[in-house]
Amino acid sequence: MRSIDLIFTEFEKENTMTTAPAMIETKSVIKKVTTSEGELQILQPISFTVKPGESVAIIGASGSGKSTLLGLLAGLDEVSGGHIMIDGEALHAMDEEQRARLRGEKVGFIFQSFMLVQSLTALENVMLPAEIAGLSEPKKRAQKILEQVGLEHRANHFPNQLSGGEQQRVAIARAFITNPKILFADEPTGNLDSTNSTKVENLLFDLNKESNTTLVLVTHDDLLAQRCQRQLRMHAGELTEQIQPLKVVSGE
């Protein structure tokens, strides 16, 4: 009769062979900043994984460290310690040029404040990542994705000629044009009214499903977080898994 330890080892080995590698994996990630009062640790050691195609919400109050963590995962900032693996690549060991290359090849990012180039039209803003990545027919790609987000009739308008909801849809189109493996979104509906928030949320999850893109979003909106497969809660720089479903109290 085989021992329990042997059976467990064989099961673990089989599980390892059949489980797809993580798209995002962090181990003991911390972030420290220097202030006038000394060193401040913004993030406590954080370890978690995200599977390919999974949707994950990071929730928590303002100042809890959500956006800081998202910036580290996207390679927009450097860790103070720990490891971050993105699709099998060691992000924590890269310099800025290498991180920029990784972002261009595998990552899309949606900012709360849209971050559109004001001197470019909607079409030109969407084209930009495709041009930088050297993709073929960037204009044709941009026209197609603008149609998907319902803004083909606004292609030649500049950002200041678009509503907030339209600007965010342009930002989503720009993030998806390179078919990224991972999409990070920082409060994607934070600056929108309820009607535009719903439109943008639906668009975000529809495109995510069609492209099988791994989605990680930061939000303080529990209703938006509920649409993701998992919820991770951030509090005072510490990250924990939300085991129980979020309970949202209706205002009605």
Q: What is the DSSP letter of 158?
A: -
Share of the chain above pLDDT 90, in %: 66
pLDDT in tens, 192-219: 888 888 888 888 898 888 888 999 999 9
Whether 129 maps to a domain, the answer reads yes
Domain hosting 151: range is 18-241
Whether 127 maps to a domain, the answer reads yes
Q: How many CA atoms lie within 13 A of 42 on its CB side?
A: 20
Spatial neighbors of 168 by CB under 8 A, at least 6 apart, are 110, 114, 188, 189, 191, 192, 196, 200
Task: Provide the pLDDT for residue 49.
Answer: 96
Give which of 196, 245, 192 is closest to 223, Cα–Cα: 245
| Rounded CA separation 92/90 (Å) | 6
The domain tally of the chain equals: 1
Whether 236 maps to a domain, the answer reads yes
The mean per-residue pLDDT over the stretch 144-156 comes to 94
Whether 218 maps to a domain, the answer reads yes
Average of per-residue pLDDT values in the chain: 87
Q: What Cα–Cα distance (Å) separates residue 5 from each residue in 8, 14, 18?
A: 5, 14, 20
Q: What is the DSSP letter of 137?
A: -
| Rounded CA separation 129/161 (Å) | 22
Whole-model pTM? 0.83
With bands split at pLDDT 50, 70 and 90, how would you rate the model's confidence at 51?
Answer: very high
Rg of the chain over all Cα atoms, to the nearest angstrom? 20
Give the domain CATH number at 232: 3.40.50.300
The mean per-residue pLDDT over the stretch 179-194 comes to 90
Q: Assess whether pLDDT exceeds 60 at residue 1.
A: no
Whether 8 maps to a domain, the answer reads no
Whether 70 maps to a domain, the answer reads yes
Whether 13 maps to a domain, the answer reads no
Whether 249 maps to a domain, the answer reads no
Give which of 157, 152, 100 is closest to 129, Cα–Cα: 100
Q: Assess whether pLDDT exceeds 70 at residue 248.
A: no
Q: How many CA atoms lie within 13 A of 103 on its CB side?
A: 21
